[in-house]
Structure 1
Amino acid sequence: MDDQAAGSPQDAHRVPHCYRHPDRETGIRCTRCERPICPECMVNAAVGFQCPDCVRSGSGTGHAPNAAMPRTLAGGTVAADPHLITKILIGINLAVFIAVQFSEPLLNDLVLIGRWPPEPFLPTDGVADGDWYRLVTSMFTHEAIWHIAFNMLSLWWLGGPLEAALGRARYLALYFVSGLAGSALAYLLGAPTTGTLGASGAIFGLFGATAVLMRRLDYDMRPIIALLVINLIFTFTWANISWQAHIGGLVAGVVVGYAMVHAPRERRSLVQYGTCALVLAVIVGLTLLRTAQLT
């Protein structure tokens, strides 16, 4: 950052930088405090855009109680802690990881598996036997420390900005739909007796949605594309990685993410949650198809 005082002759020829993200140039200012804000920090207001700080302190500014509530880019409610859901998801993953370290039967009850093979494995039911809950529980289950470390770092890096841009409810919908899509494709195309676990499907959904969001905000796409390509190379070259879960999550993330940030304002919620419902319907259909094949 430049340490020169604002208003110097040199500053007059420079594009302002977001006060919350000093590395980002912007030509937009908060309509209340007039500080420069980048697209990620822009909150829709009745007139123009406001910064998150002004939104949080809005109740004490004398604005009318019935004034239009500021919204995120996707129409979500602006929260005091824009990373709360991401923190909760990380906490759940860590709690499950610790629990399964002390209980192999618990691990067997949570992983995604179509059908358990015969002895000497535990006589536990798989998804084809009615344990559909495994499509969800496997999203929060990790066995190796490197696996959960990589996924949680990715969740923090990708999830925080997305949660701030979408709002809590929309972000949570994106996460679960992407994770379920990854589980469904792994169930459909994977070996029925191979266990699958990890948050990677949901994480790849966040990758896809982040790319869509960056495109919507006209950011430089090269960093996210390079990171995604590297992860896809690992997906198809490393052993014991479920490429089906990664691809399923990525496709769902792109579809849901596009609906979240491009939905027309007058039908925003209908388009956003309607798209989530359609993707969920496809997930249910794929799950029923695979179950019919295995029973």
Structure 2
Amino acid sequence: MDSESTVTMFYRHPAVECHVRCTRCERYICPDCVRQAPVGHQCPACVREGARSVRQARTIVGGRMSTTPVVTYVLFALNVLAYLAEVVRPEIVDRFAMVGARLVGPGGEYYTGGGPYLTSGPLRTEGVAGGEWERLLTSAFLHQSPFEGVFGILHITVNMVVLWQLGRVVELMLGRVRFAALYLLSALGGSVLELVLADPGRASVGASGAIFGTGAAYYVLHRRLGADTARVNRFVAVLVLWLLISAGFTSWQGHLGGLLVGGALALAFAYAPRDGRRAAVQAGAGAGLVVLLAVTAAIKVSEMTGGGIPL
């Protein structure tokens, strides 16, 4: 018999002579593509198929397990970069801070009411009521200007320290996608409650609403795991004390809104049924909060504008 007739080739590299079979599909594998397996050797296709069949590690709420809190690092970097941008261009704060509605003259001067306003041109409405809806989120990445004294630097320092400490823990417990959703919805919840309850002409900035939402999630998730009650209660006491103190010199409405939204979403994440419906229930809770916040903001803006909703 001719010995060349027994030569076998790899299906991916027909020109390469093969002498080893895949222990899974029994096809021949060339030396460059052979993969070590627990028993024998496998081809690349069988290795990929085996990887898909391995169950992905999940967090307590069903998110993908990860060891690096990437979202926390990205959020931290965005806040710091936005702060540096404020140093270079202070007008960024006026343009993207949370403002419900205020009148602006042709020269950029603000009118807060309380007396006659002399102007040579028409007034325009600035803020969310003026169609600047992006302020509901952009304000959560800005902080008090460093030109406003020690409080400007202290504002971002405190928020970033807490984000660094809490964010990394909560992200690893929720997973990246769920943590990003919770952080952004908490920031949005803080802005919406401020739109509803605060002075519409007052500008406010800060990540505190999102931070309070992250803190609420930290509490809910640790209670879900049955963590040490005394330690968790001490954390809650600090959070409540921070909320009460902030009422005197910052936007307590934004803090409370973030706390409520973050806590509600964390409850949905933590206590959703642990079956095939879990992801749908969690996504539904998030979508429901988005709709609730959007409708609340639209109703408030409609009241402020006399029935019209600016786009």
- Normalised-by-shorter TM-score class: 0.7 to 0.9
Same amino acid, percent of matched pairs? 35
Change (3 A) 1:117 1:71: same
Q: Distance in 2 between matches of 1:202 and 1:61?
A: 46
Corresponding residue to 2:58 among 46, 71, 91: 71
| Aligned: 1:229 with 2:240 | yes
Match in the other structure for 1:121: 110
CA RMSD between the two structures:
1.8
What SS is found at the alignment partner of 1:93? helix
Cα deviation, 1:251-279, whole Å, max 9, x if unaligned, reads: 11111001111111221111111111111
Q: Is the 8 A contact 1:109 1:124 kept in 2?
A: no
Q: Distance in 2 between matches of 1:80 and 1:159?
A: 13
Q: Distance in 1 between matches of 2:197 and 2:37?
A: 56
Q: Is the 8 A contact 1:186 1:196 kept in 2?
A: no
| Aligned: 1:171 with 2:179 | yes
Corresponding residue to 2:254 among 240, 245, 250: 245
Change (3 A) 1:216 1:188: same
Corresponding residue to 2:213 among 205, 208, 218: 205
**Alignment-mate amino acid for residue 110 of structure 2:** F
| Aligned: 1:100 with 2:86 | yes
Q: Distance in 1 between matches of 2:76 and 2:37?
A: 35
Structure-1-length-normalised TM-score: 0.75
Structure 1, unmatched stretches of 5+, are 1-59
Change (3 A) 1:97 1:73: same
Structure 1 residue 245 displacement after superposition: 0.6
Cα deviation, 1:192-230, whole Å, max 9, x if unaligned, reads: 110011001101101111110111011122221121122
Structure with max Cα Rg: 2
**Alignment-mate amino acid for residue 128 of structure 2:** V
Q: Distance in 2 between matches of 1:117 and 1:193?
A: 8
Structure 1 residue 247 displacement after superposition: 0.8
Structure 2, unmatched stretches of 5+, are 1-35, 39-46, 112-123, 145-151, 306-311
As a proportion of its length, which structure holds more strand?
2
What SS is found at the alignment partner of 2:101? coil
Structure-2-length-normalised TM-score: 0.71
Structure 1 residue 169 displacement after superposition: 0.1
Match in the other structure for 1:294: 304
Q: Distance in 2 between matches of 1:114 and 1:225?
A: 30
Match in the other structure for 1:16: none
